[in-house]
Amino acid sequence: MTTGHEHVPVLLDRIIELFTPAFADRDAVLVDATVGLGGHSDALLEAFPRLRLVALDRDPAALERSGERLARHGARVDFVHTVYDGLPEAIEGLGLSRVDGILFDLGVSSMQLDRAERGFAYSKDSPLDMRMDPTTGFTAADVLNTYAPGELIRILRDYGEERFAQRIVRAVVNEREKEPFTRSGRLVELLYDAVPAASRRTGGHPAKRTFQALRIEVNGELEVLRRAMPAALSALAMDGRIVVESYQSLEDRLVKQALAALAKSRTPEGLPVELPGHGPELKLLTRGAEKADEGEIEHNPRAASVRLRAAQRIGEPR
């Protein structure tokens, strides 16, 4: 995602449209599982005056910034410092068992990219941190300096889909024996040398895939999402809706699989009627993954890689 457009929520009009049947003219509860700077939530609270928001984020700085932005909505907002797979515990702590809407805006936020000390952006020389919650856990430097070569290759291949993982890791291991990695600038220089020139001309910035892979590993993003999707869906009330914005194929694949699994009937094929309790739990509201149009991308470059999926609960959880 890009910097300089943190005030522009991606696909905002479409998200309001998708949530309208669940929120309009009634008391409703929305969980924004990745509140970030609060742009989507602010607009949804404005659009639906009877909406209550539960705002989750693992990043204390994001909660502080969104708290300032959403302060005008007063007691309609509750903030919880948690990773999004902690959604069930978060709502239970507020006396809720089911909610009417859930929003995930996945990936790294513009605020995190813009703050050089967080280490997310390969365009700025900064400490190799990359923790979304900087109060806990290991850093990207820890990964580079301590992981076995085979593990580093796996991470770059699985999380970054990096074709040159072996070449990169060979260079990393050679360099870390001389001096441990501490800053992003040194890693970026290594990646420029390790990735062939032909690939640099056609494959985008040579650091993009490695930085994505390190960020996913440091924050356990795919494991968390794999747990978070079923947990969130089990908390969705009848006729409630879930909307997920993903920004890379690995996330989108997990979201697609989680929604599709509950959108299928469990009635054996060939039976003329749906067996009680065997119908689908979800109705898919999007045909595949929706993308931003050229106009939005021009106005907000962060939207270029978005993939939006949405579903509505139509049956009780199994």
Segments making up each domain of the chain, as ranges: 12-111+221-313, 118-219
SS (H, E, C) 121-149: CCCCCCECCCCCCCCCCCCHHHHHHHCCH
Q: Which residues of the chain carry a pLDDT beneath 50?
A: 1-6, 111-112, 116
Residue 248 marked as a ligand binder = no
Classified as helix, coil or strand, 307 is strand
Known binder of ligand: residue 13? no
Residues 65, 69, 71: CA angle, nearest 5 degrees: 110
Tell me if 114 is assigned to a ligand binding site.
Answer: no
Global pTM?
Answer: 0.89
pLDDT of 172-229, one tens digit each?
999 999 999 999 999 999 999 998 876 666 667 888 899 999 999 999 999 999 999 9
- Rounded-to-integer distance, Cα 56 and Cα 80, Å: 5
pLDDT given at position 87: 96
pLDDT of the residue at 263:
95
Decide which of 1.10.150.170, 3.40.50.720, 2.60.40.420, 3.40.50.2020 is the CATH code for 118-219: 1.10.150.170
Which CATH number does 12-111+221-313 carry?
Answer: 3.40.50.150
Spatial separation of the C-alpha atoms in residues 129 and 258, rounded to whole Å: 30
Q: Is 299 annotated as a binding residue?
A: no
What's residue 4's pLDDT? 36
SS3 state at 301: helix
107 labelled binding-site residue: no
> For residues 233 and 143, what is the distance between their CA atoms, to the nearest angstrom?
32
Bridge partners of 203? none
Q: Please check if 312 is assigned to a binding site.
A: no
Answer yes or no: is 212 a known binding residue: no
- pLDDT at position 200 is 61
